[in-house]
Structure 1
């Protein structure tokens, strides 16, 4: 009997040894939120006396959605580090974020990732105006997964997730939504031979570039709105610059070096007659003799940049122009 018990103890001891597949020293932060240092490009999680750290340049996270099943792939190397730590007490952000990190609690063990792939899937975070239906992008959610990650332990052994995925979690990066602070006063382009209409608000501009300009803006009062569908020749786009712009900016050749474009073109999706989407609608009135006022509305228009988009609502007032 003693011999049998002795053999059983040996078997249990062998099974308890680390086989490199995380059967013993399991890292589990699944239910812990991702936090970010304000002073450093470091994301981290804290669970009891443990901390999981991802040091990664902020530029890795682009403000755009990733295509379906096509995440951003980044290798763990160079200036990208993944670190697992254990302390002799509960750590705080002061143990990782401060310029001079806190001395307590004491670090008892640290594993450093030597290889692996980081997969980042990004989706837009949107709010919806319940009255107008207009959506705004307020940030991006970056879902981070480690694949085939290998940790080096202090004793020289490795711990690996070979052939498996290890979820780090969601990092939510906020951003200021586009202001769209336009008033009703729009302006016809003063550029020679141009069929554009501008609506400016300091550094913002909302541009209509219309092949159907002459059809839409006739000096005749309307009983029904004149319409055109957004297309390759009837374009609608939004831009944001680093400083104030005006009509003359767009007439200058070459394009001035300042102010610079800080928010690349958001382009309106092409209209669809069957769905009744992407419509430019113009209503003309004659408020006084010889003066015509054209009210421009954009109906069921979606603006797109890269893989991201937002909805302008069912009926968006672009602005009004006055022609003699």
Structure 2
């Protein structure tokens, strides 16, 4: 019996020693809002005397949505760093953002991530116009999760299979759509344009002749498709028809954004409608409306609404 008790005691001692000096500490910033330093690429969270921050290039956070199950993934390394710090007093952005951070409170402990992956899932934030059901993208929310992350801390390594950092939000300026809706036909093609500074709204219609007739009886419709296309482009400077009619497209201004309309579905969405009235004995006024049209860039999209006035075109 004594022998059995001795063996059990020895087993307990070995089990206890197997933990060594590894102490599992709990860090939780789930209820804290993430912020970004204005002058450097650091996203941080502070809670009383604790701080958790990521040093990561701003270009990682693209202005686009990620597909379901396909987050942005970057490895933790010398470029993408994750750090936890504990201080002897309450901390703020003054302890991380300035070139020379505040010296107080004093740093008590620091953990540096040595391995793992940063996963980022991006979702567009949209505003909705309740009158016409149109939407506009106003920003993006990035959900950040650390996978298989290992922190090297004073008492030894600590690993998390999944560690939720939380959401980081950005804002974008909604597209202006500052058009006057008086459109023109291109001088060098059958494309129809509406210009406003660096904004260009274009209808590229293979069915131009069929849509713009002298028939004033009923509206004529076509679906947005590979041959009847709609696109919105934003340039770095003012655009005119000459830009597109040049033999070689000029190097400036440069294209900064392009949104293309999604193909239509009969009687449902993506519909181009043209209504014609007699303006004078020799001219006709064509009113072009877009019904339930959605524009897309990458994985992001927004709606022009139930009924959007593209513009009016006068033809002889």
Query: What's the TM-score, normalizing by structure 2?
Result: 0.93
* 1:95-147 deviation digits (Å, cap 9, x = unpaired): 00112111111111111111110000001000001112110000111100000
1:132–1:19 distance in 2 versus 1, CA, 3 Å: farther
Could you tell me whether the CA contact under 8 Å between 1:127 and 1:136 is conserved in 2? yes
- Measured in 1, the distance between the counterparts of 2:241 and 2:104 equals 60
Give the equivalent residue in structure 2 for 1:28: 28
* 1:4-25 deviation digits (Å, cap 9, x = unpaired): xxx8xx97x94996775xx731
1:109–1:286 distance in 2 versus 1, CA, 3 Å: same
Q: Displacement of 1:154 after TM fit?
A: 3.4
Q: Which runs of 5+ in 2 are unaligned?
A: 1-8
Give the equivalent residue in structure 2 for 1:54: 54
Q: Is 2:305 aligned against 1:313?
A: yes
Q: CA RMSD in A?
A: 1.8
- Partner of 1:172, secondary structure, is strand
- Measured in 2, the distance between the counterparts of 1:17 and 1:102 equals 37
Structure 1 residues 272-311: aligned runs within 5 Å: 272-273=265-266, 275-311=267-303
In the alignment, which of 152, 177, 181 is matched to residue 178 of structure 2?
181
- Partner of 1:288, secondary structure, is coil
In the alignment, which of 186, 206, 211 is matched to residue 206 of structure 2?
211
- Measured in 1, the distance between the counterparts of 2:16 and 2:32 equals 32
- Partner of 1:59, secondary structure, is helix
1:127–1:15 distance in 2 versus 1, CA, 3 Å: farther
* 4+ runs deviating over 2 angstroms: 13-20
Q: Which runs of 5+ in 1 are unaligned?
A: 1-6
Give the equivalent residue in structure 2 for 1:270: 263
Could you tell me whether the CA contact under 8 Å between 2:46 and 2:52 is conserved in 1? yes
1:210–1:71 distance in 2 versus 1, CA, 3 Å: same
Could you tell me whether the CA contact under 8 Å between 2:24 and 2:158 is conserved in 1? no
- Measured in 2, the distance between the counterparts of 1:199 and 1:269 equals 19
- Measured in 1, the distance between the counterparts of 2:31 and 2:69 equals 24
Give the equivalent residue in structure 2 for 1:3: none
- Partner of 2:296, secondary structure, is strand
1:90–1:147 distance in 2 versus 1, CA, 3 Å: same
Q: Displacement of 1:287 after TM fit?
A: 2.0
Give the equivalent residue in structure 1 for 2:131: 131
Query: What's the TM-score, normalizing by structure 1?
Result: 0.90
Could you tell me whether the CA contact under 8 Å between 1:18 and 1:25 is conserved in 2? no
Could you tell me whether the CA contact under 8 Å between 2:285 and 2:315 is conserved in 1? yes
Give the equivalent residue in structure 1 for 2:248: 254
Aligned residue pairs, count: 305
Give the equivalent residue in structure 2 for 1:160: 159
* 1:151-196 deviation digits (Å, cap 9, x = unpaired): 11235x21111xx2100011111111111111121010101xx220
Give the equivalent residue in structure 2 for 1:170: 167
* 1:35-82 deviation digits (Å, cap 9, x = unpaired): 111111110111121000101100001111111101011001122110
Could you tell me whether the CA contact under 8 Å between 1:284 and 1:294 is conserved in 2? yes
